[in-house]
Chains A and B, each alone.
Chain A
């Protein structure tokens, strides 16, 4: 079981060292220019191919998960969001799912009772939801803050976000809250996989790798900002070169930055092939994005094969005499 996390951990270490040493050996143009471009292309092409594949797959049945009262008789109150029968209800359900991870909020855990009865009980387990929400929003803030390296002059919304994220004004350079929340949440999600035996049993290398990779990205970023320090004017010159398609390698770009950029590029390139594709997949969750209106509307399987069908009326016409003779009930008595 240990190799499932040791291999990804080693891989992230090696990737870091490859970029750090490689940049030191004068391969900055590869880790700083060639690979990031390749990674962005791989990310976009891979993402589009994956989603197009999903879009092509048939959705023959309505399979919404029903988490509340279905639309029924007029005096029975329907749960319009958890069992929607209209597009607007589905929209709200998807909005809550995407922005608040509502289905994760319902997470339960199974455990044996510690009492003599030793019965299995299910209890509400909210920490996965809390950590997931903290992780995703901290990551979003970190991602959006990085737009300061891609526009010049920097847009005011980025500066507003930075002011909000740095509201504690602790130390110099000022502490960003997302820089605390992100690694803490990743470490919780990692600890959950490592120390909860049931989760550990179902965790694969492909679950650990993104966690270690994101932790590596966060830590290299944090080290650059708070500990080892780098010349960010030079770094911004370089990132601006990348996004204006006139790449340059200015003097004084730290090797640690190449390692950070390389890990980010690996994340981008790996993204479409990984479970991280839930970024696109969440929009296509068939159990969430369909209205539960199977009784109100007739849904015909779009790839129904055109076969001659034999309806009940035809069946009864065919066997009416024999049915009457055997005493079976018939709808038309000739």
Chain B
């Protein structure tokens, strides 16, 4: 190993470690999505979970719902706030997308931002897309 090789390797390593910093300088960075309530969701003032729980834990809730509906035919979820909801992602007005009508804003904005690729949409469809 000559000194030049070692210094070259070291320079490559330092650049690699700093890559998150310079990569964001040379490319344009998308800002974080701003969550906003639209349509029926804006008036409803109630949801299945409170805001933080919803942001952190919605995938587990949907997973439990799927099992409850598919295996036990149990379709009604009574939330901690006392309201009853239909355990459905995309069917009917009492479902997730029935209230939050804009899938692109309600689901996709954050999923794309954090590189989450849920397989919900391999079976479900966005009701807005069915005409």
A binds B: yes
Which residues of A are in contact with B by a Cβ distance under 8 Å?
40, 43-44, 47-48, 51-52, 54-55, 59, 147-154, 158-159, 162-163, 169, 171-174, 229-234, 236-237, 240, 243-245, 250, 252, 254, 280, 283-284, 289
Residues of A within 8 A of B14 (CB): 44, 47-48
Q: Which residues in chain B, 25-61, are within 8 Å of chain A measured between CB atoms? A: 25, 27, 29-33, 52, 55-57, 59-60
What residues of B have a CB within 8 angstroms of the CB of A54 in the complex? 6
Chain B binding site: helix, strand, loop or mixed by DSSP? helix
Assess whether B113 is in contact with A236, with CB atoms less than 8 Å apart: yes
Report chain A residues within 8 Å CB of B55.
231, 233-234, 252
Q: A151, A158, A250, A254: which contacts B24 (Cβ < 8 A)?
A: A151
Q: Indicate if the CB atoms of B118 and A48 lie closer than 8 Å.
A: no
Q: Which residues of B contact A52 (CB under 8 A)?
A: 10
Chain B contacts with A in 71-118, Cβ cutoff 8 A: 110, 112-118
Chain A residues near B115: list those with CB within 8 A: 148, 154, 158-159, 162
> Which of B10, B30, B59, B114 has most chain A Cβ within 10 Å?
B114
Asked if residues A55 and B33 are in contact (CB atoms below 8 Å), the reply is: no
Any A CB within 8 A of the CB of B130: no
Residues of the A chain whose Cβ atoms lie less than 8 Å from the Cβ of B24: 150-151, 240, 243-244
Which residue of the partner chain A has the closest CB to B33?
A: A233
Min CB distance, B63 to chain A, in Å? 4
- Cβ-neighbour of B63 out of A47, A162, A171 (below 8 A): A171
B-chain residues with CB within 8 Å of residue A172 when the two chains form the complex? 59-60, 62-63, 118
Q: Please, which residue of chain A has its CB at the minimum distance from the CB of B25?
A: A244
CB <8 Å contact, A153 and B112: yes
B7: which of A55, A147, A243, A244 is its contact (CB, 8 Å)? A55
Docked-complex contact B60 and A150, CB < 8 angstroms: no
Asked whether B123 is an interface residue with its Cβ less than 8 Å from the other chain, the reply is no
Minimum CB distance partner of B57 in chain A: A229
Give Cα A117 to B104, complex, Å: 75
Q: Which residues of A sit under 8 angstroms from B110, Cβ to Cβ?
A: 233
Residue of B nearest to A245 (CB): B21
Dominant secondary structure of chain A at its interface with chain B: helix
Contact of A283 (CB < 8 Å), options: B9, B52, B59: B9
Listed in ascending order, the chain B residues whose CB lies under 8 Å from chain A are: 1, 3, 6-7, 9-10, 13-14, 17-18, 20-21, 23-25, 27, 29-33, 52, 55-57, 59-60, 62-63, 110, 112-119
Contact of A236 with B114 in the complex, beta carbons under 8 Å: yes
Given A171-B63, A233-B113, A244-B24, A280:B30 Cβ within 8 A: no
Chain A hits for B113, CB < 8 A: 152, 233, 236
Q: Which residues of the partner chain B approach A234 to less than 8 Å between Cβ atoms?
A: 55
Q: Which residues of A contact B10 (CB under 8 A)?
A: 48, 51-52, 280
Of the listed residues B6, B18, B112, the one surrounded by the most CB atoms of chain A closer than 10 A to its CB is B6
Q: Are B114 and A232 in contact (CB under 8 A)?
A: yes
User: In the complex, what residue of chain A is closest to B31 when comparing beta carbons?
Assistant: A152
- Which residues of the other chain, B, contact A174 by a CB distance below 8 angstroms? 119
A148 touches B57 (CB 8 A): no
Chain A neighbourhood of B112, CB < 8 A: 153
Q: Give CA–CA (A227, B35) in the complex, Å.
A: 24
Smallest CB gap from B110: residue in A: A233
